[in-house]
Amino acid sequence: MYRKIIQIMIGTCLVYFFIALFLSNTSNALVYYVSETGSDSNSGSEINPWRTIQHAADGVSAGDTVIVKNGIYRPFIIRKAGVSENWITFKSENLYGAVIDGGVTSQKDHVDGISIYRTEFIRLEGFEIINCLIGVAVRGVSMSDPSHDILGLRLKIHHIGRNYIDQDCDDGGDSPWAGIYTQTGTRRTTWDSCEVFDIGRLKNGCCYSGTFPACDFFYDHNFYLAGDEQTVQNCLIYSAHSGFLIKLTSSEYSSTSKFSHKIINNTFAHAANKNFLTPKPFCDPRNPVGHIEITGGQGSKEIFGVIIRNNIFYNPPGGVVIWQGSQDLSAIKYFDHNITSAETWVYQYGGTGSLNASECIKGISLSDFGLKDAADNDFKPTKESRYLIDKGNNESTPDYDFERKGRVQGGSVDIGAYESAPPIGKPSGLRMSKP
C-alpha cells in the first residue's frame, strides 16, 4: 500500500516537473516589432517598435518572433539560434510589405539581403528582397556552413546582381551570385512558395577567366544549393539572366541514406539561352543551357537521392537538366510527373548511366500548357491546362500551393506551383515549420 502511494507521489512529481520544464521553454518567448518610424532605443513592443531589423536580430532568443511592419529596410545578419522546439521567426507583418533593399547600403563587400550566419532553427516569412547589387558576392538570402534547419516561406526575391561588373574575375568576380545561396555544409533547408526572378549580372560584364576565356558571365543562379537535405517546393523560378534557375552541387554530408535535394511542384521559366549573350558568342560548351544544372562527384563529394517531381519546365532553351561531373545519373533517384516544351530531358557532360524519366511529358507546345499569361510571368493554370490539372504524383508533395491553398487530398495534385482544383478536406499544414 505504502509502495503504491510512493509510486503515485513520484509520478505526480514527474508530471509537474515536465510541465514546469515545458513552460520554462515557452513562457519566455517574446514578440518584437520593427517599424520605419521606430527607434532602436525603444522597447521593441508594438507601440514602441525598433527601427532596424539588425537590432532585433541581435537581441532575439529561441522562440522569439520579430514582426516587421511595411517599409524599406537595410540588409541584416542573423547570428542568434533557435532550438528544435522553439524556432526564431522573422516575419513581414503583411505579405511583401517589408522590403529588404540592398540598394540602401553603401557596403562594398558581400552584400546579402538576409545573411544566415552559422545558426539554426530560423524561419523567414513574407519579405521582399531586392537590389543586392554591389560587392564581391551578393545574394538575396545567404546561408553559411554549418547552418541548418532553415525555412524560407513566401519570400519574393528579385533584381539580385543586375549590374555591370568591370572587375577581373580573378579578384573575386567568379564567386556565384544568387537569389538563394546555401554553402557546402548547410543542411535541412526548405524554400516554400517563394518567387525568385531576374537574377544575374548584365551581359558584357565580368569574364570567366578560367576554362572558357573571353566569355560573358555564366555563374549567377536563382538558387545555388550546395548543402544537404534541401527542399524547393511550390516556387515560381524564372528569368535567370546569367546562369541556371537552380544549380545543385555535391554536398559535404550527402550519403546514400539521405535525399540531398527535393524539387517538387515548382514552375520554371525563362532561363538564359545561347542568344542572350550577344554580341559576343556563347562559348560555354554547356550550350544549349537548361533550367537545372547538377554537378556531382567533385573530388570526394557526391550528390545522392535527388527527387525532381511535379514540375513545369516552361520553354527551357535546350534541355531541362544539365548533368556535370563523374557520377552516375542514378543520383537522380526520382524524376517523375514533370512536363516541358523541350525535346530533351538531360544533356550529359561526364558521368555514366541515363535518366529514368517516369510519367513525364516533353515536347508539348507552349500553348498546350494552358497558363494564364506566361509571357507576362502569370503562370496560373486555366481550364485549358489539361496536361497539368490532376496529373501529379501525390507522394512527398506539399500540403499547400504557392498561394497557400490546400493541395488536393484524396485525388491527384496539379503539376506546378499552383493548385487549381478546390482542396478536398482540411490541409494538415507545413511539413517543415516552427513548432
Q: What's the pLDDT score for residue 30?
A: 97
Confidence at 204, pLDDT banded by 50, 70, 90: low
Is position 82 within any domain? yes
Average pLDDT taken over every residue of the chain = 81
Distance CA 387, CA 432 (A): 29
Contact (Cβ atoms closer than 8 angstroms) between residue 265 and residue 419: no
Strand partners, 302: 251
Share of the chain above pLDDT 70, in %: 73
Dihedral of CA atoms 7, 12, 15, 20 in degrees, nearest 10, equals -130
Contact (Cβ atoms closer than 8 angstroms) between residue 227 and residue 210: no
Confidence at 103, pLDDT banded by 50, 70, 90: confident
Q: For the segment 261-312, what is each residue's pLDDT rounded down to a tens digit? A: 899 999 999 875 443 333 333 334 444 467 998 886 555 567 778 999 999 9
Contact (Cβ atoms closer than 8 angstroms) between residue 113 and residue 140: yes
pTM over 0.95: no
Whether pLDDT at 169 is above 50: no
Q: What's the pLDDT score for residue 171?
A: 41
Confidence at 181, pLDDT banded by 50, 70, 90: very high
Q: What's the pLDDT score for residue 227?
A: 84
Distance CA 162, CA 108 (A): 15
Domain range for 108: 33-381
Q: What's the pLDDT score for residue 206?
A: 46
Residue 329 sits at the vertex; the CA angle it makes with 194 and 181, to the nearest 5 degrees, is 30
Whether pLDDT at 228 is above 80: yes
Is position 434 within any domain? no
Q: What's the pLDDT score for residue 174?
A: 57
Is position 424 within any domain? no
Confidence at 177, pLDDT banded by 50, 70, 90: confident
Query: Among 8-22, 65-79, 171-185, whose mean pLDDT is lowest?
Result: 8-22
- The helix/strand/coil state of 66 is strand
Is position 190 within any domain? yes
Contact (Cβ atoms closer than 8 angstroms) between residue 269 and residue 222: no
- The helix/strand/coil state of 10 is helix
Is position 6 within any domain? no
Distance CA 389, CA 394 (A): 13
Between 388 and 430, residue with greater pLDDT: 388
Between 342 and 106, residue with greater pLDDT: 342
Phi, psi of 58 (to 5 degrees): -75, -15
Q: What's the pLDDT score for residue 203?
A: 60
Is position 401 within any domain? no
Domain with residue 221: its CATH number is 2.160.20.10
Is position 167 within any domain? yes
Q: What's the pLDDT score for residue 297?
A: 56
Q: What's the pLDDT score for residue 157?
A: 98
Overall number of domains in the chain: 1
Between 385 and 295, residue with greater pLDDT: 385
Confidence at 236, pLDDT banded by 50, 70, 90: very high
Is position 416 within any domain? no
Contact (Cβ atoms closer than 8 angstroms) between residue 124 and residue 151: yes
Contact (Cβ atoms closer than 8 angstroms) between residue 372 and residue 378: yes
351 Cβ neighbours under 8 A, 6+ residues apart: 296, 297, 323, 324, 325, 326, 327, 328, 329
Q: What's the pLDDT score for residue 64?
A: 98
Whether pLDDT at 371 is above 80: yes
Whether pLDDT at 109 is above 80: no
Cell representation of residue 194: 517563394
